[in-house]
Amino acid sequence: MIADPLTFDPPVFLAPMAGITDLPYRSLVARFGAGLVVSEMVASQELLSRRPGTREKAELGLDVIGTSVQLAGREAEPMAEAARMVEAMGARIIDINMGCPAKKVTQGASGSALMKTPDHALRLIEAVVGAVKVPVTLKTRLGWDDNMLNAAPIAKRAEDAGVQMITIHGRTRCQFYKGRADWAAIRAVKETVRVPVIANGDITGSDEARQALRLSGADGVMVGRGAQGRPWLLAQIAHDLHGRAKPMVPKGAAMAQMVAEHYDEMLRFYGVELGAKVARKHLGWYMDHCATPADLRRALLTAPEVKTTFDLIAEAMQYSAAAAQTPVAA
């Protein structure tokens, strides 16, 4: 018998994205407003090989309300042990990754490769659910390829095993991120299970979120790449679809301050040398939503010193006020 379904308010979630949804970025998105933020995928074997209670706890933000920790793996016992470890460290929700399409993950029989072996996948799910007392959720794709669209039967078996929420990315593994997400195909999962179903894939704004919910019948949406450079996007969708407070989208000096604070948090989190490198992609995404001139963009992304970077952030983000007057492709 499954527990009562999980509920989140608002039902707008931040997707796990490797190298992107680290603690500084999740914290920023959460400050604007999100029903749930999910950690980067954590490989169970790698987690178990490290000394527990040090870097992992800092990375995952385990005890933060509205945070889920996503685990990946290919064997039941290491997955169960990793789940027990993060639960003991304060995890409130554990998500099982069955959706990552990356070759380095699927070649190791993890991520979306598990959709090719449903019986084995179920053993992993049962092991994790049986190992912890916190809610366990699942994220998958529609299937491995167009000849193996088995998300619905896998979802049903996962529900019977005790999984309390299921997120479906509306593509197969073999599509990677090409084409368009098929939100309508998610409806088969929604009609098969009683637990909440969350639609994911190509949700880059409120119109897309509304359409995804209509076509899929899902209970909520999960936003991934659409939030890059726009940490307020989830709060904006929650406002437009669910009547939540309208976020104050920063422009000009306010945008510069937000980006500088995010940059500073990354330097503190990773250390100056690594943090400066990791931050470049975020700085680029922020400028994607500004009218930053090309020469200034190039100077910011290649700045040799942290102080110079802070100075150029203040200059580059001033153009966000002008960009707000012109639609920018997501």
**Residues designated catalytic:** 100
The Cα 278–Cα 49 span in angstroms is 24
DSSP result, 156-210: HHHHHHT---EEEESS-GGGTT-S---GGGGHHHHTT-SS-EEEESS--SHHHHH
The Cα 315–Cα 2 span in angstroms is 54
| Contact partners, residue 251, CB within 8 Å, separation at least 6 | 320, 321, 324
The Cα 79–Cα 36 span in angstroms is 22
Instruction: Kindly report whether the peptide bond that precedes residue 247 is cis, defined as omega within 30 degrees of 0.
Output: no
Are 322 and 291 in contact by the 8 Å Cβ rule? The answer is yes
* Nearest residue to 183 via CA among 213, 144, 145, 227: 213
For the chain, how far is it from start to end, CA to CA, in angstroms? 42
Are 34 and 66 in contact by the 8 Å Cβ rule? The answer is yes
> And the tokens for 188?
């088969």
Q: Which amino acid is at 199?
A: A
Q: What is the largest CA-CA distance in the chain?
A: 60
Q: Which amino acid is at 123?
A: R
